[in-house]
Amino acid sequence: MNTADKVETVRWVGDVDGQLVLIDQTLLPVEFREITCGTLEEVWEAIKVLRVRGAPAIGIAAAYGVCLGLQPYAAADHDSFFDRLDEVVKYLGESRPTAVNLFWALRRMEKLAASLRQSASIREIRLALLDEARTIHEEDRRMCHAIGRHGADLLTHGQGVLTHCNAGGLATAEYGTALSVFFTAQDQGKQVHVFVDETRPLLQGSRLTAWELKQRGITATLICDSMAAQVMREGKVQAVITGADRIAANGDSANKIGTYSVAVLARAHGIPFYIAAPSSTFDLSIASGAEIPIEERASDEITHGFGKPTAPEGVAVYNPAFDVTPAELIKAIITERGVIDPVATETIAACLGEPG
């Protein structure tokens, strides 16, 4: 049996007093272990240290995190309950800054609760919030499959494609965004060969993407990030597809550090560079990528990769976790609503609607 078909990145167990179960992605591919988060703080920690990661999955986990954070307030009055909701949303929003799906999901939860404040009991609001988290989860599942269908049309049998980081089932409710395109192409009988950037410093490519592709029987070759130019020059790659963490109104797209370099290389070699992302990854409130907050992570991710010292003690380190690929380097953005091509403020607005 295919393990990937059984993989549930995030799942809620039980009723409104239930718990959140996550695959601990920091342990993959060596160990497949699920962890249970029974408190808000455990969800925050899981997001912070990347036990759950990838923009859509972070949003889903945070939505369930809101439900957990409100459990101790089941008997509270409305004012205390809503004060607590504000606190929970603020706290979860401080876990990671770049992926807009986190804030999108939190806003949805807040809006739903606010709409019920005057008319519903605390128990009814808690039940409605759990339903909303489940809806966010289910919608993501459907969006990923739709992205796969739109994206697969862009690939032809026998192509080499390159991806960076992990935009697979582990980063979403199921199936992924960039990887969904490869999975769908395979389902349609088109074989593609995926070159997987290992994705320094945390190796989401080698640990997670290579694992997912292997589980689903897609032929893949792992390369170090620094080898992408060489495989392009050798003619092994005909398209690049990555996910995104936040896409500005003009199409500038933040994704895992190193994506921008890949897009520049793709342009230099005349290879189309695609972003695959659901509408929940667009932030139409910002005009360009210059406004996207870039997470900076701890220096030991670089100096002590996976525990082993690889740099002299005390060396200065800069560790931005994301970069922004300018829209002009992106051939098209594959969304659940269709393919945005060319990428520009007008075409994005036409596909997604004006900023809300």
The residue nearest ligand MRU at its CB is 243
Three-class SS state of 222? strand
Given candidates 12, 28, 56, 280, which one binds ligand MRU under the rule CB under 6 A?
A: 56
- Residue 350 token pair: 């036409």
In the residue annotation, 245 being an active-site residue is answered as yes
- Tell me: does residue 169 bind ligand MRU (CB under 6 A): no
Q: Which range binds ligand MRU by CB under 6 A, 73-81, 109-117, 163-171, 329-337? A: 163-171
- Helix (H), strand (E) at residue 9: none
Three-class SS state of 286? coil
- Tell me: does residue 99 bind ligand MRU (CB under 6 A): yes
Rounded to the nearest 5°, which phi and psi values hold at 194?
A: -100, 125
Given candidates 61, 167, 228, 332, which one binds ligand MRU under the rule CB under 6 A?
A: 167
Given candidates 9, 184, 204, 303, which one binds ligand MRU under the rule CB under 6 A?
A: 204
Q: Which range binds ligand MRU by CB under 6 A, 48-56, 77-85, 228-236, 328-336? A: 48-56
Three-class SS state of 139? helix
- Tell me: does residue 63 bind ligand MRU (CB under 6 A): no
Select 172 or 184, whichever has its Cβ closest to ligand MRU.
172
Indicate the angle between helix axes 55-70 and 78-93, nearest 10 degrees. Answer: 150
Three-class SS state of 18? coil
Given candidates 136, 146, 321, 339, which one binds ligand MRU under the rule CB under 6 A?
A: 321
CA distance 164 to 151: 16
CA distance 244 to 255: 5
- Tell me: does residue 256 bind ligand MRU (CB under 6 A): yes
- Cβ atoms 50, 43 nearer than 8 A: no
Q: Which range binds ligand MRU by CB under 6 A, 114-122, 214-222, 243-251, 264-272? A: 243-251
Give bridge partners of residue 193 from the DSSP assignment: 160
Select 244 or 249, whichever has its Cβ closest to ligand MRU.
244
- Tell me: does residue 243 bind ligand MRU (CB under 6 A): yes
Instruction: Count residues near ligand MRU (CB under 6 A).
Output: 20
Question: CA dist 188 to 80, 148, 157, 192, Å?
Answer: 53, 11, 10, 11
Q: Which of 245, 252, 283, 323 is catalytic?
A: 245
CA distance 57 to 102: 9
Give bridge partners of residue 23 from the DSSP assignment: 34
- Residue 116 token pair: 């019920």
Select 208 or 237, whichever has its Cβ closest to ligand MRU.
208
Q: Which range binds ligand MRU by CB under 6 A, 29-37, 73-81, 133-141, 166-174? A: 166-174
Name the site residues for ligand MRU (rule: CB under 6 A).
50, 53-56, 99, 165, 167, 171-172, 176-177, 204, 242-245, 255-256, 321
Catalytic residue ranges: 245
